[in-house]
A and B are shown apart, each in its own frame.
Chain A
Amino acid sequence: MAFVNMKSKEVQAKIVYYGPGRGGKTTNLEFIYSKFRERIKSDMVSIKTHGDRTLFFDFLPFDIGKIMGYDVKIQLYTVPGQVKYDATRRLVLKGVDGMVFVADSQVEQRKKNVLSLKNLQENLAMYKKSIFKVPLVLQYNKRDLKKEGIPLLPTETLEKDLNSQLKVPSFAASAVSGENVVPTMKKIISLTMASLQNVLK
Protein backbone atom coordinates (compact mmCIF):
# COMPACT_ATOMS: atom_id res chain seq x y z
CA MET A 1 0.00 0.00 0.00
CA ALA A 2 2.65 2.45 -1.00
CA PHE A 3 1.59 6.05 -0.96
CA VAL A 4 2.36 8.21 -3.95
CA ASN A 5 2.06 11.91 -3.46
CA MET A 6 1.55 13.28 -6.95
CA LYS A 7 1.82 16.79 -5.63
CA SER A 8 5.20 16.59 -3.93
CA LYS A 9 6.31 13.77 -6.26
CA GLU A 10 7.12 11.52 -3.37
CA VAL A 11 6.63 7.77 -2.90
CA GLN A 12 6.58 6.02 0.47
CA ALA A 13 6.88 2.25 0.39
CA LYS A 14 6.94 -0.20 3.29
CA ILE A 15 9.34 -3.13 3.44
CA VAL A 16 9.06 -5.54 6.36
CA TYR A 17 11.69 -7.97 7.63
CA TYR A 18 10.02 -11.10 8.94
CA GLY A 19 11.29 -14.36 10.40
CA PRO A 20 11.79 -16.43 13.54
CA GLY A 21 12.87 -14.87 16.85
CA ARG A 22 16.60 -14.15 17.14
CA GLY A 23 17.02 -14.79 13.43
CA GLY A 24 18.78 -11.47 12.85
CA LYS A 25 16.10 -9.08 11.54
CA THR A 26 17.04 -6.24 13.85
CA THR A 27 20.72 -6.86 13.15
CA ASN A 28 20.03 -6.41 9.41
CA LEU A 29 18.54 -2.97 10.03
CA GLU A 30 21.33 -2.04 12.42
CA PHE A 31 23.90 -2.88 9.78
CA ILE A 32 22.05 -0.84 7.15
CA TYR A 33 21.79 2.05 9.57
CA SER A 34 25.50 2.04 10.39
CA LYS A 35 26.48 1.61 6.76
CA PHE A 36 24.33 4.44 5.43
CA ARG A 37 24.38 6.71 8.42
CA GLU A 38 25.20 9.82 6.45
CA ARG A 39 22.22 9.22 4.16
CA ILE A 40 19.73 8.39 6.89
CA LYS A 41 18.80 11.60 8.60
CA SER A 42 16.65 10.25 11.40
CA ASP A 43 17.39 7.77 14.16
CA MET A 44 16.43 4.15 13.99
CA VAL A 45 13.38 3.59 16.16
CA SER A 46 13.34 0.34 18.14
CA ILE A 47 10.55 -0.71 20.45
CA LYS A 48 12.20 -3.53 22.36
CA THR A 49 12.43 -5.32 25.69
CA HIS A 50 15.29 -4.91 28.12
CA GLY A 51 16.75 -8.07 26.69
CA ASP A 52 16.98 -6.42 23.28
CA ARG A 53 14.23 -8.51 21.77
CA THR A 54 11.91 -6.66 19.43
CA LEU A 55 8.63 -5.99 21.21
CA PHE A 56 6.74 -4.19 18.48
CA PHE A 57 8.97 -3.18 15.60
CA ASP A 58 12.14 -1.47 14.43
CA PHE A 59 11.75 1.37 11.97
CA LEU A 60 14.29 2.90 9.66
CA PRO A 61 13.36 5.38 6.93
CA PHE A 62 15.68 5.18 3.98
CA ASP A 63 15.74 7.82 1.31
CA ILE A 64 16.87 6.15 -1.90
CA GLY A 65 16.72 9.18 -4.15
CA LYS A 66 14.83 9.69 -7.36
CA ILE A 67 13.21 6.96 -9.41
CA MET A 68 11.25 7.96 -12.49
CA GLY A 69 11.10 11.51 -11.19
CA TYR A 70 9.77 10.53 -7.79
CA ASP A 71 11.55 11.03 -4.52
CA VAL A 72 11.45 7.49 -3.07
CA LYS A 73 11.32 6.93 0.66
CA ILE A 74 11.63 3.33 1.73
CA GLN A 75 10.36 2.56 5.22
CA LEU A 76 12.16 -0.48 6.61
CA TYR A 77 10.42 -2.32 9.44
CA THR A 78 11.10 -5.50 11.40
CA VAL A 79 8.49 -7.53 13.22
CA PRO A 80 8.98 -9.23 16.58
CA GLY A 81 9.84 -12.84 15.76
CA GLN A 82 8.82 -14.44 19.03
CA VAL A 83 5.74 -16.63 18.61
CA LYS A 84 3.86 -14.93 21.46
CA TYR A 85 3.90 -11.55 19.72
CA ASP A 86 1.68 -12.58 16.84
CA ALA A 87 -0.90 -9.83 17.43
CA THR A 88 1.62 -7.00 17.17
CA ARG A 89 3.49 -8.76 14.38
CA ARG A 90 0.33 -8.73 12.32
CA LEU A 91 -0.18 -5.00 12.85
CA VAL A 92 3.24 -4.23 11.40
CA LEU A 93 2.31 -6.05 8.19
CA LYS A 94 -0.46 -3.59 7.47
CA GLY A 95 0.13 -1.96 4.10
CA VAL A 96 3.33 -3.87 3.35
CA ASP A 97 4.77 -3.48 -0.16
CA GLY A 98 7.73 -5.85 0.00
CA MET A 99 9.16 -8.45 2.39
CA VAL A 100 12.43 -9.99 3.43
CA PHE A 101 12.22 -13.32 5.22
CA VAL A 102 15.28 -13.75 7.45
CA ALA A 103 15.83 -17.44 8.18
CA ASP A 104 18.25 -18.72 10.82
CA SER A 105 20.71 -21.12 9.19
CA GLN A 106 21.44 -23.08 12.37
CA VAL A 107 20.44 -26.74 12.13
CA GLU A 108 18.47 -26.53 15.35
CA GLN A 109 16.36 -23.66 14.00
CA ARG A 110 15.13 -25.60 10.99
CA LYS A 111 11.61 -26.11 12.20
CA LYS A 112 11.23 -22.55 13.48
CA ASN A 113 12.00 -21.15 10.04
CA VAL A 114 9.28 -23.22 8.44
CA LEU A 115 6.74 -22.32 11.12
CA SER A 116 7.55 -18.65 10.81
CA LEU A 117 7.16 -18.69 7.04
CA LYS A 118 3.83 -20.43 7.43
CA ASN A 119 2.83 -17.79 9.97
CA LEU A 120 3.75 -15.12 7.44
CA GLN A 121 1.54 -16.75 4.86
CA GLU A 122 -1.37 -16.79 7.32
CA ASN A 123 -0.87 -13.22 8.45
CA LEU A 124 -0.65 -11.93 4.88
CA ALA A 125 -3.84 -13.80 4.11
CA MET A 126 -5.56 -11.75 6.82
CA TYR A 127 -4.83 -8.70 4.69
CA LYS A 128 -6.02 -10.65 1.65
CA LYS A 129 -2.51 -10.89 0.30
CA SER A 130 -0.82 -13.96 -1.07
CA ILE A 131 2.71 -14.85 -0.09
CA PHE A 132 3.14 -15.90 -3.71
CA LYS A 133 2.41 -12.42 -4.96
CA VAL A 134 4.00 -10.04 -2.49
CA PRO A 135 7.53 -9.03 -3.57
CA LEU A 136 9.67 -11.30 -1.38
CA VAL A 137 13.35 -12.11 -0.84
CA LEU A 138 14.71 -14.88 1.39
CA GLN A 139 17.84 -14.45 3.45
CA TYR A 140 19.69 -17.40 5.00
CA ASN A 141 21.38 -15.65 7.86
CA LYS A 142 24.23 -16.44 10.26
CA ARG A 143 26.42 -18.16 7.66
CA ASP A 144 29.43 -16.85 9.62
CA LEU A 145 28.71 -19.37 12.39
CA LYS A 146 30.11 -22.12 10.21
CA LYS A 147 33.67 -21.13 11.07
CA GLU A 148 32.77 -21.28 14.75
CA GLY A 149 32.00 -24.95 14.22
CA ILE A 150 28.26 -24.53 14.73
CA PRO A 151 26.25 -26.91 12.54
CA LEU A 152 24.43 -25.02 9.78
CA LEU A 153 21.84 -26.15 7.30
CA PRO A 154 23.26 -26.31 3.78
CA THR A 155 21.70 -23.59 1.64
CA GLU A 156 20.28 -26.37 -0.56
CA THR A 157 18.31 -27.63 2.43
CA LEU A 158 17.07 -24.15 3.24
CA GLU A 159 16.05 -23.70 -0.39
CA LYS A 160 14.16 -26.96 -0.26
CA ASP A 161 12.46 -26.18 3.03
CA LEU A 162 11.51 -22.60 2.32
CA ASN A 163 11.82 -21.78 -1.35
CA SER A 164 10.74 -24.82 -3.31
CA GLN A 165 7.28 -23.35 -3.86
CA LEU A 166 8.00 -19.66 -3.63
CA LYS A 167 11.02 -19.61 -5.97
CA VAL A 168 12.02 -16.09 -4.99
CA PRO A 169 15.56 -14.64 -4.91
CA SER A 170 17.58 -15.79 -1.90
CA PHE A 171 20.85 -14.77 -0.25
CA ALA A 172 23.21 -16.53 2.13
CA ALA A 173 24.18 -13.80 4.55
CA SER A 174 25.63 -12.71 7.84
CA ALA A 175 23.88 -9.76 9.40
CA VAL A 176 26.63 -9.45 11.99
CA SER A 177 29.46 -9.12 9.47
CA GLY A 178 27.18 -7.43 6.95
CA GLU A 179 27.79 -9.98 4.24
CA ASN A 180 24.93 -9.84 1.69
CA VAL A 181 22.86 -7.54 3.90
CA VAL A 182 22.93 -4.69 1.40
CA PRO A 183 22.37 -6.96 -1.64
CA THR A 184 19.33 -8.43 0.14
CA MET A 185 17.97 -4.93 0.69
CA LYS A 186 18.72 -3.78 -2.83
CA LYS A 187 16.97 -6.81 -4.26
CA ILE A 188 13.79 -6.27 -2.29
CA ILE A 189 13.78 -2.56 -3.10
CA SER A 190 14.10 -3.27 -6.80
CA LEU A 191 11.35 -5.92 -6.74
CA THR A 192 9.12 -3.58 -4.77
CA MET A 193 9.74 -0.64 -7.06
CA ALA A 194 9.16 -2.82 -10.11
CA SER A 195 5.81 -3.84 -8.71
CA LEU A 196 4.89 -0.19 -8.23
CA GLN A 197 6.21 0.96 -11.57
CA ASN A 198 3.01 0.94 -13.54
CA VAL A 199 1.47 3.32 -11.04
CA LEU A 200 4.36 5.77 -11.31
CA LYS A 201 4.05 6.30 -15.02
Chain B
Amino acid sequence: MNKNRRSLLSSPEPGSEGEEEDKQLGSNYDDITFTDYTLGQEELEKIENVLEDDLIRSGVHSVLLIDMAGNIIAQRDNGACDHDLYSLAALASANFAAVDTMAKIVGEEEFSLLFHKGENENIHFSKVNVEFLLITIFGKKVSLGLLRLKVAEAVDKINGVWKP
Protein backbone atom coordinates (compact mmCIF):
# COMPACT_ATOMS: atom_id res chain seq x y z
CA MET B 1 0.00 0.00 0.00
CA ASN B 2 2.65 2.40 1.06
CA LYS B 3 4.96 1.46 -1.67
CA ASN B 4 2.20 2.01 -4.12
CA ARG B 5 1.56 5.47 -2.78
CA ARG B 6 5.13 6.50 -2.98
CA SER B 7 5.52 5.27 -6.49
CA LEU B 8 2.83 7.74 -7.49
CA LEU B 9 5.45 10.37 -7.10
CA SER B 10 8.40 8.52 -8.45
CA SER B 11 10.52 10.80 -10.50
CA PRO B 12 9.95 10.37 -14.21
CA GLU B 13 13.16 12.11 -15.14
CA PRO B 14 16.74 11.21 -14.34
CA GLY B 15 18.89 13.26 -12.08
CA SER B 16 16.51 13.61 -9.16
CA GLU B 17 18.83 11.76 -6.82
CA GLY B 18 20.81 14.91 -6.17
CA GLU B 19 17.64 16.79 -5.35
CA GLU B 20 18.13 16.56 -1.62
CA GLU B 21 21.22 18.70 -1.55
CA ASP B 22 19.88 21.02 -4.18
CA LYS B 23 16.75 21.70 -2.19
CA GLN B 24 18.67 22.26 0.99
CA LEU B 25 20.81 24.88 -0.65
CA GLY B 26 17.88 26.22 -2.56
CA SER B 27 20.19 26.14 -5.49
CA ASN B 28 17.97 24.81 -8.24
CA TYR B 29 18.67 27.98 -10.18
CA ASP B 30 19.27 26.61 -13.58
CA ASP B 31 15.73 25.73 -14.45
CA ILE B 32 13.76 28.34 -12.57
CA THR B 33 11.07 29.65 -14.86
CA PHE B 34 11.91 33.21 -14.26
CA THR B 35 9.54 35.15 -16.44
CA ASP B 36 9.03 33.69 -19.86
CA TYR B 37 9.81 37.14 -21.11
CA THR B 38 12.41 39.78 -20.46
CA LEU B 39 11.64 43.45 -20.47
CA GLY B 40 14.40 46.00 -20.34
CA GLN B 41 14.25 49.31 -18.58
CA GLU B 42 14.00 51.15 -21.84
CA GLU B 43 11.10 49.03 -23.09
CA LEU B 44 9.35 49.50 -19.79
CA GLU B 45 9.69 53.25 -20.08
CA LYS B 46 8.28 53.23 -23.59
CA ILE B 47 5.33 51.18 -22.43
CA GLU B 48 4.68 53.52 -19.54
CA ASN B 49 4.68 56.42 -21.97
CA VAL B 50 2.09 54.68 -24.12
CA LEU B 51 -0.13 54.14 -21.07
CA GLU B 52 0.23 57.78 -20.10
CA ASP B 53 -0.09 59.39 -23.54
CA ASP B 54 -2.75 57.19 -25.09
CA LEU B 55 -4.92 56.34 -22.13
CA ILE B 56 -4.51 58.60 -19.12
CA ARG B 57 -4.47 61.70 -21.33
CA SER B 58 -7.69 60.48 -22.92
CA GLY B 59 -9.42 60.59 -19.57
CA VAL B 60 -8.89 57.05 -18.32
CA HIS B 61 -8.65 56.93 -14.52
CA SER B 62 -6.19 54.12 -14.12
CA VAL B 63 -4.45 51.61 -16.34
CA LEU B 64 -2.53 48.47 -15.52
CA LEU B 65 -0.42 46.23 -17.71
CA ILE B 66 -0.28 42.86 -15.99
CA ASP B 67 0.94 39.42 -16.91
CA MET B 68 -1.18 36.28 -16.92
CA ALA B 69 0.18 35.29 -13.51
CA GLY B 70 -1.15 38.50 -11.96
CA ASN B 71 2.10 40.46 -11.73
CA ILE B 72 1.98 44.17 -12.42
CA ILE B 73 4.29 45.10 -15.28
CA ALA B 74 3.46 48.77 -15.63
CA GLN B 75 0.91 51.12 -14.17
CA ARG B 76 -0.32 54.67 -14.64
CA ASP B 77 -3.19 56.66 -13.16
CA ASN B 78 -4.55 60.17 -13.07
CA GLY B 79 -3.41 60.75 -9.51
CA ALA B 80 -6.93 60.64 -8.12
CA CYS B 81 -7.27 56.86 -7.74
CA ASP B 82 -6.51 54.88 -4.66
CA HIS B 83 -7.24 51.31 -5.69
CA ASP B 84 -5.60 48.23 -4.26
CA LEU B 85 -3.70 47.47 -7.44
CA TYR B 86 -2.08 44.19 -6.40
CA SER B 87 -5.45 42.67 -5.52
CA LEU B 88 -6.92 44.09 -8.69
CA ALA B 89 -4.16 42.49 -10.77
CA ALA B 90 -4.58 39.11 -9.06
CA LEU B 91 -8.33 39.17 -9.61
CA ALA B 92 -8.11 40.47 -13.15
CA SER B 93 -5.69 37.78 -14.30
CA ALA B 94 -7.77 35.06 -12.64
CA ASN B 95 -10.99 36.47 -14.09
CA PHE B 96 -9.47 36.64 -17.53
CA ALA B 97 -8.17 33.09 -17.28
CA ALA B 98 -11.56 31.82 -16.11
CA VAL B 99 -13.43 33.56 -18.94
CA ASP B 100 -10.85 32.31 -21.44
CA THR B 101 -11.35 28.75 -20.23
CA MET B 102 -15.12 29.17 -20.52
CA ALA B 103 -14.68 30.35 -24.10
CA LYS B 104 -12.74 27.20 -24.96
CA ILE B 105 -15.41 25.03 -23.34
CA VAL B 106 -18.13 26.49 -25.58
CA GLY B 107 -15.89 26.20 -28.61
CA GLU B 108 -14.77 29.81 -28.97
CA GLU B 109 -11.17 30.80 -29.42
CA GLU B 110 -11.75 33.74 -27.11
CA PHE B 111 -14.39 36.26 -26.10
CA SER B 112 -13.36 39.55 -27.59
CA LEU B 113 -15.13 42.03 -25.34
CA LEU B 114 -14.52 41.87 -21.63
CA PHE B 115 -16.09 44.79 -19.95
CA HIS B 116 -17.81 45.47 -16.64
CA LYS B 117 -20.02 48.49 -16.24
CA GLY B 118 -20.61 50.21 -12.93
CA GLU B 119 -22.43 53.26 -11.62
CA ASN B 120 -19.31 55.44 -11.68
CA GLU B 121 -16.43 53.23 -12.71
CA ASN B 122 -16.08 50.79 -15.55
CA ILE B 123 -13.40 48.22 -16.13
CA HIS B 124 -12.19 46.95 -19.47
CA PHE B 125 -9.87 44.00 -20.18
CA SER B 126 -7.85 43.57 -23.31
CA LYS B 127 -5.45 40.82 -24.22
CA VAL B 128 -2.21 42.33 -25.48
CA ASN B 129 -0.43 39.09 -26.36
CA VAL B 130 0.02 35.64 -24.83
CA GLU B 131 1.70 37.10 -21.76
CA PHE B 132 0.06 40.43 -21.12
CA LEU B 133 -3.31 41.92 -20.30
CA LEU B 134 -4.27 45.57 -20.29
CA ILE B 135 -6.74 46.59 -17.61
CA THR B 136 -8.37 49.99 -17.98
CA ILE B 137 -10.54 51.71 -15.39
CA PHE B 138 -12.55 54.66 -16.62
CA GLY B 139 -15.60 56.74 -15.72
CA LYS B 140 -18.48 58.48 -17.43
CA LYS B 141 -16.39 60.97 -19.36
CA VAL B 142 -15.02 58.35 -21.71
CA SER B 143 -17.37 56.42 -23.99
CA LEU B 144 -16.85 52.71 -24.48
CA GLY B 145 -16.35 53.28 -28.19
CA LEU B 146 -13.57 55.79 -27.69
CA LEU B 147 -12.03 53.65 -25.00
CA ARG B 148 -11.91 50.60 -27.25
CA LEU B 149 -10.29 52.65 -29.98
CA LYS B 150 -7.66 54.04 -27.62
CA VAL B 151 -7.02 50.65 -26.08
CA ALA B 152 -6.58 49.06 -29.50
CA GLU B 153 -4.03 51.73 -30.41
CA ALA B 154 -2.20 51.29 -27.15
CA VAL B 155 -2.14 47.50 -27.59
CA ASP B 156 -0.59 47.90 -31.03
CA LYS B 157 2.03 50.24 -29.68
CA ILE B 158 2.88 47.98 -26.76
CA ASN B 159 3.26 45.07 -29.15
CA GLY B 160 5.52 47.27 -31.23
CA VAL B 161 7.76 47.82 -28.23
CA TRP B 162 7.74 44.26 -27.06
CA LYS B 163 6.42 40.88 -28.17
CA PRO B 164 6.90 37.51 -26.51
Binding site for B on A (CB under 8 A): 1-7, 12, 14, 42-43, 45, 47, 56-57, 59, 61, 73, 75, 77, 87-88, 91-92, 94-97, 114, 117-118, 121, 127-133, 135-136, 160-162, 164-169, 190-191, 193-199
Contact = CB atoms under 8 A, between A and B. Distances in A.
Given A12-B71, A161-B2, A43 B94 contact: no
Interface of B: 2, 5-6, 8-11, 13, 16, 19-20, 23, 25-29, 31-36, 40-41, 44-45, 67-73, 84, 86-87, 90-91, 93-94, 97-98, 101
A150 B29 CA distance: 42
A194 B26 contact: yes
Main secondary structure of the interface of A (DSSP, over half): mixed
Given A2-B35, A3-B71, A4-B35, A191 B86 contact: no
Contacts of B31: 133
Given A161-B6, A167-B20, 9 more contacts: A5-B73, A7-B44, A75-B86, A87-B101, A94-B68, A117-B8, A132-B16, A165-B6, A196-B34
Given A1-B36, A43-B84, A56-B94, A7 B45 contact: yes
Contacts of A5: 44, 73
